[in-house]
């Protein structure tokens, strides 16, 4: 199996990715040196980063983090990046606001503290900046010159922006008939933006071919051959939430599910903080959120299955529309192990939740944020979330990117420019 | 003259706005108590906030600021807000990135250090969040219950979001035929969004009528009767730039001009930092940037005039399209006093500059950011900006809000999903 792909001539011994020591198979534990590989040569399981954190003193580490920059690099000691990462050109995402959402809490009846982790504050306004930033550092370490991905939205912009700033060539593949607005958001950074005559599956199939071919030499596909590094970026959400709560794990977290990778990495991040002694080891529940129109993990969860049956997505929550989520089984595991759940909401509920969050907290979320807020409301109503305990809800993107979903929102009145007309409209 | 408008029953003696002690006329120095007034009763000049900073010890103040929150409230001791402002519900803008723009510097030949102050990182992705946040605290102090404004864009969203979070009713007036996307961005926060049958001038005229009428009782118009407070928010740009440079004033700043208020308040902020001893008193030059299609200040500057002749705006930089800028004469003063200049660029140059910034630094700016970057390039070319000295360029908004301006940006290639097609396109 050609898992070592898009080879570079980098010697693994010279790769400096900080505390990262090897790649380890999530299924069988087989280890290989750090490199641009993503699947285990023994069992085809996904490879993850293995770290050596043994030298860290808890209090020194905490101080080092707290004195670090106001972005993800404050956690450089816990990420697969060199120690001097903050000095390199990078778009420096992270350290986004954890908003104490008291108005929303009142509406939902939450008394134990409700928080929105608002990742729309990232440079390209989605959590993708976190993961791409890791991939950039891995690409640097492995000597790649081109950053690439297939995308239908957020990832294209994140890769384009990060590559521009870091000095990489970028080449992003998208379906050729994407909406013009999304094309502009990806094209503005000046990299290659290639329309593929076909649907998103065709784009992905083509990218897999390219990775295995000599034409893809020197190319780092952020979420394929750089995936083990890329995925670690999601851990920073867990780190930030806990640090922003005063180094405390919240009782309950509601996380969107696309591939499921973000949820599994948030759990990994929490476990690391516990092992490092940075937070108290206390129970927490992780809840997964999907849109009904793409709910393979939610369906499996409710049916009590361990495997996830693929679906053909049909939802306005396009950034979550992965019908065959690679990390679905791990998500089921984590939801069950922590006492959480996986739930889904209709597109109508997604729109309602976007409006609810905007109206109560002034946060305009992408459809994915509508999914998590909507699922939170549903889980409170059905008793699976305990409103007397703390809840953190993730908003992973910005409403400006999915304006179409709320296009019906409009003027509340139209008047002539006179006081009489104003009074008639009952606005005084 | 009915300058005391939209009256509330608040007793000035009970108003706690921190170090703010009075309102002072910029023209004649006449003082009045803190209240919802904006024009001098003696000479009709603009009222500004007067402060008492006399009790501050420089080093204590510096430490207090540095230990403060990662938003504008770290500067609460220097703003017209109560000391406990950070504990109140507010969207907490500011502390946006100052990006060291080495790639852009290379393109422009700047060797003295080039930085982009990127205010697209604010909650609603424009600098307006800074000023609205001040108006919210003034509205709270004066007992207002409705926040209002006239707007064609960024301000509407900023007011809607801030009011939602802070628990105010909001009522925003816009021309009824605004683009649907802009209506959605303003309407999503659930306040009243009223379309006025007329153009922006009609909207403004109507708002002035409303302020003077009993129907407007209890209404705080952020940029009219709350304007002295509102405008102070722009000082925080100066504070942040200096603190982020290690408490140092840059040699040169390039600031966009709409009403001109932002530029004058940045100068005020720098002067305050000097007087407080927080930065060294060294020369700096402030440059104003306009679009050619709305360049009344630039035209006056080049003609050596002290007064600004109004223009009818016609430019893609709509957030800067104020044809009769209230603070124009003050801008001319500051540009001349500091040895700066005022310059303008064509819409084509604005688009080129947006693309240049995105391609070099991964920052997707609003048209206003295209104006400042374009003007910076022009001023370097014509020798008015010294490239061997430091330059800070402001980007005050987000490209996602003005996608139309760069709608021509698109795919660099379209291919079939095959390696042959990829090779034929010369992408390898």
A189 to B418: CB separation less than 8 angstroms, yes or no? no
Q: Which of B121, B188, B410 sits opposite A406 (nearest CB)?
A: B188
A364 to B124: CB separation less than 8 angstroms, yes or no? yes
How far apart, in whole angstroms, are the C-alpha atoms of residue A322 and residue A130?
Answer: 20
Place of tokens 């206390």: A282
Specify the 3-state DSSP secondary structure of A84: coil
C-alpha distances (whole Å) from B300 to each of A61, B214, B267, B332, B334 are: 57, 40, 20, 8, 13
Is the predicted pLDDT of residue A252 greater than 70, yes or no? yes
How far is C-alpha A409 from the geometric centre of its chain's CA atoms? 27
Best of B117, B400, B408 to substitute, by most chain A Cβ atoms within 10 angstroms, is: B400
The dihedral sign for the CA sequence A71, A75, A79, A81: positive
Q: Which of A92, A210, A358 sits opposite B419 (nearest CB)?
A: A210
Q: Which of B161, B360, B415 sits opposite A196 (nearest CB)?
A: B415
A364 to B417: CB separation less than 8 angstroms, yes or no? no
Among all residues of chain A, which has the CA nearest to that of B190?
A: A359
Q: Would you tell me how many other CB atoms lie within 10 Å of the CB of residue A159?
A: 32
What pLDDT sits at residue B13?
Answer: 66
B193 to A410: CB separation less than 8 angstroms, yes or no? yes
Is the predicted pLDDT of residue A328 greater than 90, yes or no? yes
Best of B104, B417, B426 to substitute, by most chain A Cβ atoms within 10 angstroms, is: B417
- In this prediction, residue A163 has a pLDDT band, given cuts at 50, 70 and 90, of very high
What pLDDT sits at residue A268?
Answer: 97
How far apart, in whole angstroms, are the C-alpha atoms of residue A334 and residue B210?
Answer: 57
Percent of chain A at pLDDT exceeding 70: 97
Best of B133, B159, B169, B188 to substitute, by most chain A Cβ atoms within 10 angstroms, is: B188
Average per-residue pLDDT for chain A = 94
Stretch A359-374: mean pLDDT: 97
B121 to A124: CB separation less than 8 angstroms, yes or no? no
C-alpha distances (whole Å) from A31 to each of A135, A233, A392 are: 20, 21, 35
Q: Which of B160, B215, B417 sits opposite A198 (nearest CB)?
A: B417
Listed in sequence order, the residues at least 6 apart from B57 whose beta carbon sits closer than 8 Å to its beta carbon are none
**Tens-of-pLDDT digits for all 428 residues of chain B?**
334 444 455 676 689 999 999 999 999 999 999 999 999 999 999 999 999 999 999 999 999 999 999 999 999 999 999 999 999 999 999 999 999 999 999 999 999 999 999 999 999 999 999 999 999 999 999 999 999 999 978 899 999 999 999 999 999 999 988 888 889 999 999 999 999 998 888 898 899 899 889 888 899 999 999 999 999 999 999 999 999 999 999 999 999 999 999 999 999 999 999 999 999 999 999 999 999 999 999 999 999 999 999 999 999 999 999 999 999 999 999 999 999 999 999 999 999 999 999 999 999 999 999 999 999 999 999 999 999 999 999 999 999 999 999 988 889 999 999 999 999 998 87
Q: Which of A188, A202, A406 sits opposite B417 (nearest CB)?
A: A202
Between these two residues, A213 and A271, which has the higher pLDDT value?
A271
B412 to A192: CB separation less than 8 angstroms, yes or no? yes
b/e for B340-367, b at 16 or more Cβ within 10 A? Answer: bbbbbbebebbbbbbbbbbbbbbbbbbb
Nearest to B256 by CA among B315, B182, B214: B315
B427 to A171: CB separation less than 8 angstroms, yes or no? yes
C-alpha distances (whole Å) from A231 to each of A38, A164, A335, B114, B269 are: 11, 21, 19, 33, 43
Chain B positions touching A92 (Cβ under 8 A) are 97
Stretch A304-324: mean pLDDT: 94
ipTM over 0.90: yes
Domains of chain A: 12-55+128-230 (3.40.50.1100), 98-125+234-406 (3.40.50.1100)
Q: Are B149 and B186 in contact (CB under 8 A)?
A: no
Specify the 3-state DSSP secondary structure of A219: strand
Chain A positions touching B187 (Cβ under 8 A) are 409-412
Listed in sequence order, the residues at least 6 apart from A213 whose beta carbon sits closer than 8 Å to its beta carbon are B419
Q: Are A290 and A297 in contact (CB under 8 A)?
A: yes
Structure tokens at A177: 């008939």
Stretch A310-334: mean pLDDT: 94
How far apart, in whole angstroms, are the C-alpha atoms of residue A154 and residue A119?
Answer: 12
Distance from CA of B108 to the nearest CA of A (A): 15
Element (H, E) at A132: helix A128-141
Best of A362, A364, A413 to substitute, by most chain B Cβ atoms within 10 angstroms, is: A362
Using DSSP, how many helices (H) and how many strands (E) does chain A show? 14, 14
Structure tokens at B249: 């004033």
Specify the 3-state DSSP secondary structure of A48: strand
Per-position DSSP letters for A230-271, written without gaps between them: HHHTTHHHHHHHHHHTTS---SEEEEE-SSSHHHHHHHHHHH
What radius of gyration do chain A's Cα atoms show?
Answer: 22
Main-chain phi, psi angles of A52, to 5 degrees: -115, 100
Q: Which of A92, A407, A416 sits opposite B197 (nearest CB)?
A: A416
B400 to A400: CB separation less than 8 angstroms, yes or no? yes
Is the predicted pLDDT of residue A9 greater than 60, yes or no? no
What pLDDT sits at residue B2?
Answer: 37
How far apart, in whole angstroms, are the C-alpha atoms of residue A244 and residue A261?
Answer: 22
Q: Which of B97, B121, B183 sits opposite A411 (nearest CB)?
A: B183
Angle at the Cα of B274 from the Cα atoms of B269 and B275, rounded to 5 degrees: 95
A189 to B409: CB separation less than 8 angstroms, yes or no? no
What pLDDT sits at residue B169?
Answer: 96
What pLDDT sits at residue A177?
Answer: 85
What pLDDT sits at residue B109?
Answer: 98
A205 to B423: CB separation less than 8 angstroms, yes or no? no
Strands B47-51 and B285-291: unpaired
Give first-to-last CA distance, chain B, whole Å: 71
Chain A positions touching B180 (Cβ under 8 A) are 407, 410
A411 to B360: CB separation less than 8 angstroms, yes or no? no
Strands A31-32 and A20-25: antiparallel
A187 to B124: CB separation less than 8 angstroms, yes or no? no
How far apart, in whole angstroms, are the C-alpha atoms of residue A300 and residue A53?
Answer: 36
C-alpha distances (whole Å) from A78 to each of A31, A81, A84, A231, B320 are: 19, 8, 13, 13, 44
Distance from CA of B34 to the nearest CA of A (A): 26
Q: Which residues pair with B344 in a beta bridge?
A: B290
Q: Are A162 and A156 in contact (CB under 8 A)?
A: no
The dihedral sign for the CA sequence A87, A52, A260, A12: positive
What pLDDT sits at residue A152?
Answer: 78
Structure tokens at A26: 């999530």
B188 to A354: CB separation less than 8 angstroms, yes or no? yes
Listed in sequence order, the residues at least 6 apart from B82 whose beta carbon sits closer than 8 Å to its beta carbon are B16, B17, B18, B76, B137, B141
A400 to B399: CB separation less than 8 angstroms, yes or no? no
Element (H, E) at A296: helix A296-303
Is the predicted pLDDT of residue A180 greater than 90, yes or no? no
Distance from CA of B100 to the nearest CA of A (A): 9
B164 to A407: CB separation less than 8 angstroms, yes or no? no
Best of B362, B418, B422, B425 to substitute, by most chain A Cβ atoms within 10 angstroms, is: B362
What pLDDT sits at residue B7?
Answer: 46
């Amino acid at each position: 199996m050609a898992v070592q792909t898009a080879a570079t001539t980098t010697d693994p011994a010279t790769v400096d990715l900080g505390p990262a020591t090897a790649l380890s198979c999530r299924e069988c534990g087989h280890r290989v040196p750090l490199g641009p590989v993503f699947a285990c040569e023994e069992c085809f399981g996904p490879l993850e980063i293995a770290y050596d954190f043994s030298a860290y003193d808890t209090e020194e580490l905490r101080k080092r983090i707290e004195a670090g920059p106001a972005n993800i690099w404050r956690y450089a000691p816990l990420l697969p990046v060199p120690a001097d990462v903050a000095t390199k050109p990078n778009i420096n995402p992270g350290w986004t606001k954890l908003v104490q959402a008291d108005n929303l809490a009142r509406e939902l009846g939450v008394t134990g503290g409700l928080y929105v982790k608002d990742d729309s504050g990232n440079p390209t306004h989605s959590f993708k900046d976190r993961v791409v930033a890791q991939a950039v550092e891995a690409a640097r370490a492995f000597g790649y010159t081109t950053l690439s991905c297939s995308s239908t939205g957020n990832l294209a912009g994140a890769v384009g922006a990060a590559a521009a700033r870091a000095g990489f060539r970028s080449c992003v593949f998208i379906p050729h008939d994407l909406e013009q607005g999304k094309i502009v958001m990806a094209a503005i950074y000046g990299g290659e933006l290639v329309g593929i005559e076909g649907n998103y599956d065709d784009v992905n199939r083509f990218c897999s071919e390219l990775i295995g071919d000599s034409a893809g030499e020197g190319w780092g596909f952020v979420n394929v051959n750089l995936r083990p590094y890329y995925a670690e970026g999601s851990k920073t959400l867990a780190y930030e939430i806990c640090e922003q709560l005063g180094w405390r794990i919240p009782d309950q977290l509601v996380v969107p599910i696309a591939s499921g990778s973000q949820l599994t990495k948030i759990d990994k991040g929490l476990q690391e903080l516990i092992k490092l002694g940075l937070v108290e080891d206390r129970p927490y529940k992780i809840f997964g959120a999907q849109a009904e129109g793409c709910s393979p993990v939610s369906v499996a969860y409710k049916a009590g299955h361990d495997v996830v049956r693929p679906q053909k997505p049909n939802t306005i929550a396009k950034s979550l529309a992965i019908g065959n989520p690679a990390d679905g089984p791990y998500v089921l595991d984590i939801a069950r192990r922590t006492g959480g759940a996986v739930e889904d909401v209709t597109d109508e509920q997604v729109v309602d939740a976007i409006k609810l969050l905007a109206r109560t907290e002034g946060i305009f979320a992408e459809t994915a944020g509508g999914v998590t807020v909507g699922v939170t409301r549903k889980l409170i109503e059905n008793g699976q979330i305990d409103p007397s305990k703390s809840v953190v809800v993730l908003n992973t993107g910005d409403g400006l990117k999915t304006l179409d979903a709320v296009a019906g929102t409009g003027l509340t009145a139209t008047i002539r420019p006179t006081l009489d007309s104003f009074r008639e409209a009952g606005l005084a």
